[in-house]
Structure 1
Amino acid sequence: MLSTEKSCKPENSISNRTVALIVATLASFFTPFMASAINIAIPAIGSQFAADVILLSWIPTVYLLAAAVFAVPFGRIADIYGMKKIFTYGVIIFTISSLLCAISPSILTLIMFRVLQGIGSAMIFVTGLAIITSVYPPRERGKAIGINIASVYIGLSLGPVLGGILTQYFGWRSIFIAVIPLGLLVLALTVFKLKGEWAECIGEKFDIKGSIIYSIALVILIYGFSILPGELGIILVILGVIGILAFALFELRVKNPVFEVRLFKNITFGFSSLAALINYSATFAVVFLLSLYLQYIKGLDPQMAGIILVAQPIVMAITSPVAGRLSDKFSPGLIATIGMTVTAISLLCLTFLTANTSFEYIITVLLVLGFGLGMFSSPNTNAIMGSVEKKFYGIASATVGTMRLIGQMLSMGIALLVFSVFIGNVLIEPSNYPALLTSINTVFLICTILCFIGIFASFARR
């Protein structure tokens, strides 16, 4: 394997940069596409398997949980053994697990295969961004990151639309089948076209004990959060927090830690990571909540619901590359703070949803939300990746992915908690639509408060 410092750097040529960007961008497309598409299909899955809302919520949640648990360990493994190698294996696992999800005979097996899919996603997330950061010079990095993040939003935008069409005409299983050809294409380009390897920590040991402590603590924390406000949930959340603190203390004493905790002493890295965590915690559940709202409260079919939900990610996809370019010229922190502020205002508007809210109002708010998220994500990611040395690119990329995934997971956890309080473990029927609407409004209010806190975190790193 070649180090980016010790080689003649053929992997940093303009042509290879282009291949790296294409490969990472395509992979960044189909993973969020799967996440958003499956959200629109949840009512159909629930109907086929006669599953309650809590069990259905685990379909997106276990995917995020698995990805979050494995992101940090695979970020470190990629630094040691090579970004391209881990990326390739990730694409293989994701593609195979998509096929397994498509043929799942029950909701429990579907959830199990979603865990495997989450592992593959973690391997893709932590290496794709790191590869782009490795091959692009700082003056062009923001633009490349912006394009990469734009592909994430394009995946999010096409997910509800294509997911709705596929679900309505071919069934929810077709969503998983649709990503398999794209996975094979990315695999072929990576193996045959992408040259070189990126591994700055060759020969260093992998911290197995730290990885185990981190994984167990995170699983306990998230599972405990999902079963709040029960007594067992409170106990598990406390144990999870203690486990995370123990992990941080353990990593400070390890020669080659799986996660370099000292990176958080870097003001830019620390506050940018915190801002990302808050932003995703406040916004990821939007598609899930509005999918339920549009299909149950407003009575739309999956296709029409998807067409409405596409407004947000389309604006995100347009805004993100522009914001990335701006972050190459101006303060990434300032641009990201503006985006966080706009996001908070749009979430506040969603707290006023009623059964009679017009579609024009919903679409307008989604457009504003998309602009805010697009202005935040690219500059914030550029700030994180640009604040560390090359040998930490893998773990920095893992941090970006972990903050996103934990944030997304907490966002779903908030929704699960509120649903359990207002609705309970029952099927969604017309008789409990008022409770569903109250739950949705409550979640949006909590997310609004989180996002306003995030404004201060984003501004502090300037």
Structure 2
Amino acid sequence: MDHGTRGWRWFVAESPRPRRVATWAGAPWLVIATVCFGAFMGQFDASIVTLAFPSLAAHFAVPPAAVEWVSLSYLLALVALLAAVGGLADVLGRKLVYIYGFAVFTGASVACALAPDLTALVVFRVVQGVGAAMLQANSVALVVTSVPRERMRTALGVQAAAQALGLALGPTVGGLLVGTLGWQAVFAINVPIGVVAMVAGHYLLPRTVEKSARTRFDLPGTVLLAATTTAALLALSGVSGLEVPVLPLLAAAVVAAVLLWWWERRVDAPLLDFGLLRAAPISRGLLGALCGYLVLFGPLVAVPFASTGSALTTGLTLTALPAGFAVAATLGPRLFPRALATARVGAWLAAAGALVPVVAPGELVPALALLGFGLGVFTPANNAAVMAALPAGKAGLGGGLVNTTRGLGTALGIAITTFVLHNGGAHALRTTFAVLTASAIVCALSTPVLRTRGGTYTRWLLRLRPK
């Protein structure tokens, strides 16, 4: 092999970890730490950008409705590509796609900070969404295939806690950056995090042990999935106030979904294997993930609109939600070590937390803390249920499906909450939390009980296959 070929392979093949890293007993936790960069960055970026909306509207001299596209374009690209990127990573290698995801996300962040007008900023946000899809589609799969089976739930909990931390810090850090350095700093802050993450990924992430067979890329399936999710999310945004034709978009989403189902059942190498959804832990777990993120993001929209205090007071109140989430996601396996610690238990706790503001509107902080705690118990257990039920070599596709439903749940949470707030009158906040309570109950009823004959959650997880 000549030097030119060897140099080219350096960019398209996964590099091995240094031997000292690979053989160290704590190597799996280095993988988790690296994955947490992406988990933190995704949620941090999602929550920090909204703080820059007023500054963006003033800087580019556009109405507030136009600025919504800064978030919407990112979300559309992310949700549309998650499943496709997850499947692609199963073929090319999860480490390779993950590191390139950081490169795309970081480069797009630089471009966003330097955007000369709103149109350019929206385009660069689409590119940033592509990079985020490469990160998020692989995060769960990298954890599942790297961590010892008996530590799986703890590992997924730590990853979920990193997401909660990003969600919690976004509003505070975003307000500080916008107020002192300007809206450009909201995007520029991603650059040093991305550079560190790329270096860490190169040295600390393992190569993919088990890859799927190389098959023809399902381009029609990818286009139809993107059309379905884009039309559906735009319609949801229209219901919540964005000026778009809602009914035609809903019709387009239904037609695209039917065509996607028809096409994927006939192609040899489908983007979405609908046969996987026949497994109850997968289909019911994905429904639970959808409702879980709806419940998580609903209060983040509702509380600021309903608050009569200062921005600082509102931010501190909202912190109770991700703080409870982070505590439960990190300590959940110790607090609930056996079969009691199921996704269903967490969903019922979240339902109880969401119900408190309905019957006692003044008790918002403890209600949000309990709601976050319940979701922190629910989310890692539910994700583990979905990933454990997947066939070998499908971890990337499974991670993409989990994150696609997470994106759709996020959009539903924002759209439904905004709709209720705009139409609920004097009792809008109580009505919003009633809807969130019902969604949490759906989580509890849809999630399969993760109890086995052996009786422990850990034994059930022995079906996983980390190498």
Same-fold status (TM-score > 0.5): yes
> What are the Cα deviations for residues 114-160 of structure 1, in whole angstroms up to 9, with x where unaligned?
22222211110111211111122322211111111111111112222
1:438–1:106 distance in 2 versus 1, CA, 3 Å? farther
Which of 413, 429, 432 aligns to 1:411? It is: 413
Question: Which residues in structure 2 correspond to 1:111-150 (within 5 Å)?
Answer: 111-150=122-161
Question: Which residues in structure 2 correspond to 1:44-443 (within 5 Å)?
Answer: 44-46=55-57, 48-49=59-60, 52=63, 54-198=65-209, 200-228=211-239, 232-294=245-307, 297-298=308-309, 300-301=310-311, 303-324=312-333, 329-330=338-339, 335-350=342-357, 361-418=363-420, 422=423, 442-443=431-432
Does the aligned pair in 1 maintain the 2:236–2:411 contact within 8 Å?
Answer: no
Does the aligned pair in 1 maintain the 2:296–2:372 contact within 8 Å?
Answer: no
C-alpha displacement of 1:267: 0.8
SS in 1 for 2:214: coil
Amino acid at match of 1:171: G
1:241–1:137 distance in 2 versus 1, CA, 3 Å? farther
> What are the Cα deviations for residues 378-397 of structure 1, in whole angstroms up to 9, with x where unaligned?
11111111111221101111
1:231–1:223 distance in 2 versus 1, CA, 3 Å? closer
Amino acid at match of 1:403: T
C-alpha displacement of 1:372: 1.3
1:189–1:445 distance in 2 versus 1, CA, 3 Å? same
Aligned length: 434
C-alpha displacement of 1:163: 2.0
Deviates more, 1:249-258 or 1:97-106: 97-106
Aligned-partner Cα distance in 1 for 2:67–2:438 = 26
1:163–1:232 distance in 2 versus 1, CA, 3 Å? closer
Task: Show structure 2 runs of 5+ residues with no match.
Answer: 1-12, 452-467
> What are the Cα deviations for residues 286-311 of structure 1, in whole angstroms up to 9, with x where unaligned?
213323444xx43x13x443333222
> What are the Cα deviations for residues 81-108 of structure 1, in whole angstroms up to 9, with x where unaligned?
1101111111111112222222334444
C-alpha displacement of 1:260: 1.3
> What are the Cα deviations for residues 365-415 of structure 1, in whole angstroms up to 9, with x where unaligned?
221121111111111111111111221101111111111011111222324
Aligned-partner Cα distance in 2 for 1:41–1:440 = 25
1:113–1:204 distance in 2 versus 1, CA, 3 Å? same
1:147–1:449 distance in 2 versus 1, CA, 3 Å? same
Amino acid at match of 2:318: L
Amino acid at match of 2:373: F
**Are 2:443 and 1:454 equivalent residues in the alignment?**
yes
> What are the Cα deviations for residues 29-68 of structure 1, in whole angstroms up to 9, with x where unaligned?
1111111222344444445556555444443333222111
C-alpha displacement of 1:352: 7.2
Deviates more, 1:67-76 or 1:279-288: 279-288
1:55–1:397 distance in 2 versus 1, CA, 3 Å? same
> What are the Cα deviations for residues 184-224 of structure 1, in whole angstroms up to 9, with x where unaligned?
00011112343423551142222111111111122122212
SS in 2 for 1:389: coil
1:192–1:139 distance in 2 versus 1, CA, 3 Å? closer
Question: Equivalent residue for 2:7?
Answer: none
Amino acid at match of 2:225: Y
Does the aligned pair in 2 maintain the 1:134–1:390 contact within 8 Å?
Answer: no
Amino acid at match of 1:95: T
Does the aligned pair in 2 maintain the 1:83–1:198 contact within 8 Å?
Answer: no
> What are the Cα deviations for residues 226-259 of structure 1, in whole angstroms up to 9, with x where unaligned?
2249994123213312322321232122221111
Task: Show structure 1 runs of 5+ residues with no match.
Answer: 423-433
Does the aligned pair in 2 maintain the 1:418–1:442 contact within 8 Å?
Answer: yes
Does the aligned pair in 2 maintain the 1:138–1:386 contact within 8 Å?
Answer: no
Q: Percent identity?
A: 24
SS in 2 for 1:284: helix
Aligned-partner Cα distance in 2 for 1:39–1:103 = 18
Deviates more, 1:223-232 or 1:71-80: 223-232
1:193–1:453 distance in 2 versus 1, CA, 3 Å? closer
Question: Equivalent residue for 2:463?
Answer: none
Does the aligned pair in 2 maintain the 1:65–1:409 contact within 8 Å?
Answer: no
Does the aligned pair in 2 maintain the 1:285–1:411 contact within 8 Å?
Answer: yes
RMSD (Å) for aligned C-alpha atoms: 3.1
1:152–1:449 distance in 2 versus 1, CA, 3 Å? same
Does the aligned pair in 1 maintain the 2:15–2:202 contact within 8 Å?
Answer: no
Aligned-partner Cα distance in 1 for 2:122–2:216 = 33
